[in-house]
Amino acid sequence: MANVSDVAAYLLQQHGPMSPAQLHKLICYAQVWSIVLDDRAMLPGRILSWKNGPVVSELCEYNGQICIDTAGDPGRLSGTERETIDFVLTFFANESPLSAM
């Protein structure tokens, strides 16, 4: 199973630079759509509800700030996981990171 850093690295590889808030939101969308489309969670961790949107707990918890870890390996993602993330990018990559989820 891929980890959060692998998903973050793939998102950044496919989309390019983005804010930490946008990255967290896209990871959360990937998790939700993986459950909907693939009938299983892509990631084992928790999603936290913060004031400005969802945050993936494994990817940050540094003095209450959201942060990103890009040391992941996109090659660990399965073809199905990549397809799900690509779907999320198609529909949600241009959304404001502060818009309602």
- pLDDT score, position 70: 59
- pLDDT score, position 54: 77
Tokens 């939101």 belong to 25
Q: Any idea where the domains of the chain sit in the sequence? A: 4-92
Residue pLDDT, tens place only, 39-98: 999 988 778 777 777 777 776 655 555 556 557 899 999 999 999 999 999 998 877 655
- Rounded-to-integer distance, Cα 83 and Cα 87, Å: 6
Residue pLDDT, tens place only, 5-31: 899 899 989 998 888 888 888 998 999
Q: Rounded to whole angstroms, what are the CA distances from 96 to 6, 24, 29, 46, 92?
A: 23, 12, 13, 22, 9
Is the pTM higher than 0.85? The answer reads no
Longest CA–CA span in the chain (Å) reads 35
